[in-house]
Protein backbone atom coordinates (compact mmCIF):
# COMPACT_ATOMS: atom_id res chain seq x y z
CA UNK A 1 0.00 0.00 0.00
CA UNK A 2 1.22 3.48 -0.85
CA UNK A 3 2.27 5.26 2.39
CA UNK A 4 0.74 8.47 1.02
CA UNK A 5 -2.64 6.83 0.48
CA UNK A 6 -5.59 8.00 2.55
CA UNK A 7 -7.00 4.47 2.79
CA UNK A 8 -6.96 2.97 6.26
CA UNK A 9 -5.30 -0.30 7.19
CA UNK A 10 -6.54 -3.21 9.24
CA UNK A 11 -4.22 -6.13 9.92
CA UNK A 12 -6.85 -8.76 10.57
CA UNK A 13 -6.03 -11.45 8.02
CA UNK A 14 -5.09 -13.92 10.77
CA UNK A 15 -8.09 -13.13 12.98
CA UNK A 16 -11.00 -15.49 13.51
CA UNK A 17 -13.77 -14.63 11.01
CA UNK A 18 -16.64 -14.27 13.49
CA UNK A 19 -18.65 -12.27 10.96
CA UNK A 20 -19.18 -15.55 9.09
CA UNK A 21 -21.39 -16.94 11.86
CA UNK A 22 -25.07 -17.03 10.84
CA UNK A 23 -26.88 -14.57 13.09
CA UNK A 24 -30.42 -15.96 13.18
CA UNK A 25 -29.46 -19.51 14.28
CA UNK A 26 -27.21 -17.99 16.94
CA UNK A 27 -30.12 -15.93 18.24
CA UNK A 28 -32.24 -19.12 18.45
CA UNK A 29 -29.44 -20.80 20.43
CA UNK A 30 -29.19 -17.73 22.69
CA UNK A 31 -32.94 -17.96 23.32
CA UNK A 32 -32.52 -21.64 24.27
CA UNK A 33 -29.68 -20.68 26.60
CA UNK A 34 -31.90 -18.00 28.16
CA UNK A 35 -34.65 -20.55 28.66
CA UNK A 36 -32.11 -22.74 30.47
CA UNK A 37 -31.10 -19.83 32.71
CA UNK A 38 -34.72 -19.32 33.80
CA UNK A 39 -35.21 -23.04 34.37
CA UNK A 40 -31.85 -23.96 35.96
CA UNK A 41 -29.91 -20.77 36.76
CA UNK A 42 -26.93 -18.96 35.27
CA UNK A 43 -24.06 -21.26 34.26
CA UNK A 44 -25.74 -24.30 35.80
CA UNK A 45 -24.52 -26.38 32.84
CA UNK A 46 -20.94 -25.97 34.12
CA UNK A 47 -21.81 -27.79 37.35
CA UNK A 48 -23.89 -30.73 36.07
CA UNK A 49 -22.34 -34.02 37.21
CA UNK A 50 -21.23 -36.16 34.25
CA UNK A 51 -22.04 -33.19 32.01
CA UNK A 52 -20.39 -34.50 28.84
CA UNK A 53 -22.48 -37.67 28.86
CA UNK A 54 -25.70 -35.97 29.86
CA UNK A 55 -25.40 -33.13 27.33
CA UNK A 56 -24.53 -35.64 24.62
CA UNK A 57 -27.80 -37.41 25.45
CA UNK A 58 -29.74 -34.14 25.42
CA UNK A 59 -28.15 -33.13 22.11
CA UNK A 60 -29.18 -36.44 20.55
CA UNK A 61 -32.72 -36.31 21.96
CA UNK A 62 -33.27 -32.83 20.47
CA UNK A 63 -31.63 -33.81 17.20
CA UNK A 64 -33.72 -36.99 16.87
CA UNK A 65 -36.92 -35.06 17.66
CA UNK A 66 -36.11 -32.64 14.84
CA UNK A 67 -35.33 -35.56 12.53
CA UNK A 68 -38.76 -37.03 13.32
CA UNK A 69 -40.30 -33.78 12.11
CA UNK A 70 -40.98 -32.21 15.51
CA UNK A 71 -39.67 -28.69 14.89
CA UNK A 72 -40.51 -27.11 18.26
CA UNK A 73 -39.71 -28.40 21.73
CA UNK A 74 -43.12 -28.71 23.46
CA UNK A 75 -41.80 -27.46 26.81
CA UNK A 76 -39.96 -24.34 25.70
CA UNK A 77 -41.66 -23.61 22.38
CA UNK A 78 -38.22 -23.11 20.85
CA UNK A 79 -36.74 -25.14 17.99
CA UNK A 80 -35.27 -28.48 19.01
CA UNK A 81 -32.23 -27.61 16.92
CA UNK A 82 -31.67 -24.47 19.03
CA UNK A 83 -31.54 -26.65 22.15
CA UNK A 84 -29.24 -29.07 20.29
CA UNK A 85 -27.02 -26.11 19.40
CA UNK A 86 -26.83 -25.07 23.05
CA UNK A 87 -25.85 -28.63 24.01
CA UNK A 88 -23.20 -28.63 21.31
CA UNK A 89 -21.75 -25.39 22.69
CA UNK A 90 -21.60 -26.97 26.13
CA UNK A 91 -19.82 -30.01 24.71
CA UNK A 92 -17.34 -27.79 22.89
CA UNK A 93 -16.51 -26.06 26.16
CA UNK A 94 -13.76 -27.50 28.33
CA UNK A 95 -15.98 -26.64 31.30
CA UNK A 96 -18.37 -29.49 30.40
CA UNK A 97 -16.36 -32.38 31.71
CA UNK A 98 -12.63 -33.00 31.50
CA UNK A 99 -11.06 -29.85 30.11
CA UNK A 100 -7.71 -31.60 29.76
CA UNK A 101 -9.22 -34.09 27.33
CA UNK A 102 -10.63 -31.20 25.32
CA UNK A 103 -7.23 -29.53 25.09
CA UNK A 104 -5.63 -32.83 24.04
CA UNK A 105 -8.25 -33.17 21.32
CA UNK A 106 -7.19 -29.81 19.90
CA UNK A 107 -3.47 -30.56 20.05
CA UNK A 108 -1.53 -31.30 16.89
CA UNK A 109 -0.75 -34.87 17.89
CA UNK A 110 -4.42 -35.74 18.54
CA UNK A 111 -6.08 -33.72 15.75
CA UNK A 112 -4.17 -35.20 12.82
CA UNK A 113 -5.01 -32.66 10.14
CA UNK A 114 -4.10 -29.64 12.24
CA UNK A 115 -0.44 -28.70 12.17
CA UNK A 116 -0.58 -26.74 15.42
CA UNK A 117 -2.96 -26.41 18.40
CA UNK A 118 -6.11 -24.50 17.56
CA UNK A 119 -5.68 -20.82 18.40
CA UNK A 120 -8.69 -18.57 18.37
CA UNK A 121 -7.92 -14.86 18.39
CA UNK A 122 -10.91 -12.94 19.78
CA UNK A 123 -9.07 -9.65 20.18
CA UNK A 124 -10.61 -6.63 18.41
Annotated domain spans of the chain? 18-98
pLDDT band at 110 (very low <50, low <70, confident <90, very high): very low
Spatial separation of the C-alpha atoms in residues 49 and 52, rounded to whole Å: 9
* Amino acid 100: pLDDT: 57
Q: pLDDT, tens digit, for every residue of 10-37? A: 888 888 888 999 999 999 999 999 999 9
- 39 vs 120, which has greater pLDDT? 39
Cβ atoms of 36 and 89 closer than 8 Å? no
* Amino acid 39: pLDDT: 96
Q: 3-state class of 41 per DSSP?
A: coil
Tell whether the model's pLDDT for residue 63 goes beyond 50: yes
Residue 66 vs residues 22, 59, 61, 114, 117: alpha-carbon distances, Å: 20, 11, 9, 32, 34
Amino acid sequence: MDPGSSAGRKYDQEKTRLELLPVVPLVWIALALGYGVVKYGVDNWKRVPDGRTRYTGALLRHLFAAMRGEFLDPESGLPHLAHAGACLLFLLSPLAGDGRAFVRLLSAEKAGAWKKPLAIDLSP
